Amino acid sequence: MESRNVLPREGALVTFWDEALGVNVRDSDGNVLLDLTGAFGVALAGHRHPRIVEALERGGGRLIHGMGDVQPSRERLELLEHLSSLSPWRSCRGVLSSSGSEAVETALKTAFLATGRPGILAFQGAYHGLTMGALATTHREHFRGPFRPQLSPHVAFAPFPVEEGEVGEKDVWPKVDQLLDEGTPDGIPVGAVVVEPIQGRAGVRVPPPGFLSKLAERTRRAGALLILDEIFTGLGRTGRIFALEEAEVIPDLLCLGKGLGGGLPLSACLGPEEVMDAWPPSQGEAVHTSTFLGHPLACRTGKALLEVLEEEELPDRARDTGRLMAQVLAEEIGNLGPRVRVRGRGLFLGVTFHDSNGVEPLDHAGVQAAEILLSRGIITLPAGARGEVLELTPPLVLDPELARYAALQVTEVAGLLVSREG
């Protein structure tokens, strides 16, 4: 029925999702599971938040689908107005789409139109999506390898620095400066630098303080544009509405997705008017649009999500609960020695596993931890190129007591794995 590539791995423990509410998922056997993933980070306000359900029911009773760029809807205007009020620019303009990858595609196209330079600088470990343009900026070989001959040759990668020193900044700047000054190895001038404020799928890799602002400064000096991919970090997850606040950086373009639609597919590429006006005025047929652009129902649930984020102070809750969870994890994991560590911001946490010297990543340890946790009723995901990280991105409404319980469970499983490895 379905392509084998998008089915669970043979032999994997599979739970059929039947229903979800708040931080819980009920499977088709009636088991209630604790969701520490937010379903890929989407369920920011928890599954089936009543305000989002209400928006869905009201909107569904009036207008489900619209006519993209051709005929606007009130929902689309209201969502963009709200996003604009949260954005770091005085006059913000946006292009809506359905998936994160599409928002990245829009940003890459915008940067090319604005600079006329086709070269792109991305970072090792980056994940920006899997559609062809976005895939060219995604670093992991697993995704790129099968399509290498089809990928744009104009993307070059620089090392991404990591806070606790796995890759130091001294390895980063010479490469970044070289690419910005001289272009890609083929001599193609760089017009866009695309970066995640914290690398998500690479294993919640947090760069050192000041990295993003230095990158922004160098990018601007070179006449290129900085695209900040906040598809995972955005909308409260790291303890701020946007991670750019803590990094004190104002990008030229900002990509949002995942939780933006409150659970419905919705993404956005935002930028200041002077950058976004690189797009020509419409002649009646947009040069970049899609069937579902500005989907009224997704815009409505998206607006409800933004309201809930603010009214229920979800970024602050993510910061506090995340701090508690990281603290419990660090304390308990501390007893396991240097082989297990925790990193991240807010409710964007990664537990990293290492070999007995505490140096090399322990291949598949995150995968194994996620499997054991699932058998205990806790849903998590592995991350990292070698599956060496356990990623924790729960709904931001996670109760602190439950967060403590979850952290203790994670620690117990980490202990099991470490003792099993010897």
Ligand X SMILES: Cc1ncc(COP(=O)(O)O)c(C=O)c1O
Point out which residues bind ligand X (CB under 6 A). 99-101, 104, 127-129, 196, 200-201, 229, 231-232, 257
H or E stretch covering 122: strand 119-123
Structure tokens at 129: 């999506």
- CA 181, 187, 193, 199 torsion-angle sign: negative
Task: State in angstroms the smallest separation of the CB of 356 from ligand X.
Answer: 31
Residue at 6: amino acid letter:
V
CB 223 within 8 A of CB 297: no
Structure tokens at 276: 């976004």
Task: State in angstroms the smallest separation of the CB of 389 from ligand X.
Answer: 14
Would you say 133 or 189 has its CB closer to ligand X?
Answer: 133
Would you say 99 or 301 has its CB closer to ligand X?
Answer: 99
Residue closest to ligand X (Cβ): 100
Task: State in angstroms the smallest separation of the CB of 70 from ligand X.
Answer: 24
Task: State in angstroms the smallest separation of the CB of 265 from ligand X.
Answer: 8
Would you say 101 or 115 has its CB closer to ligand X?
Answer: 101
- Alpha-carbon distances, residue 46 vs 11, 42, 180, 263, 396 (angstroms): 30, 9, 41, 9, 7
Q: At what angle do helices 296-311 and 50-60 cross, to 10 degrees?
A: 160
> What distance in Å separates the CA atoms of residue 369 and residue 363, rounded to the nearest whole number?
11
Task: State in angstroms the smallest separation of the CB of 355 from ligand X.
Answer: 27
Would you say 269 or 365 has its CB closer to ligand X?
Answer: 269
Task: State in angstroms the smallest separation of the CB of 256 from ligand X.
Answer: 10
Would you say 193 or 417 has its CB closer to ligand X?
Answer: 193
> What distance in Å separates the CA atoms of residue 36 and residue 393, rounded to the nearest whole number?
6
Please state the φ and ψ torsions of residue 62, each to the nearest 5 degrees. Answer: -120, -55
Would you say 295 or 339 has its CB closer to ligand X?
Answer: 295
Question: What is the Cα Rg of the chain in Å?
Answer: 21
64 exposure class (CB count in 10 Å sphere: 0-12, 13-18, 19+): exposed
Task: State in angstroms the smallest separation of the CB of 29 from ligand X.
Answer: 28
Would you say 246 or 332 has its CB closer to ligand X?
Answer: 246
Residue at 114: amino acid letter:
A
Task: State in angstroms the smallest separation of the CB of 267 from ligand X.
Answer: 6
Q: Residue 4: which residues within 8 A CB-CB, separation 6 or more?
A: none
The gap from C-alpha 6 to its chain's centroid, in whole angstroms, comes to 20
Would you say 301 or 411 has its CB closer to ligand X?
Answer: 301
Please state the φ and ψ torsions of residue 11, each to the nearest 5 degrees. Answer: 90, -5
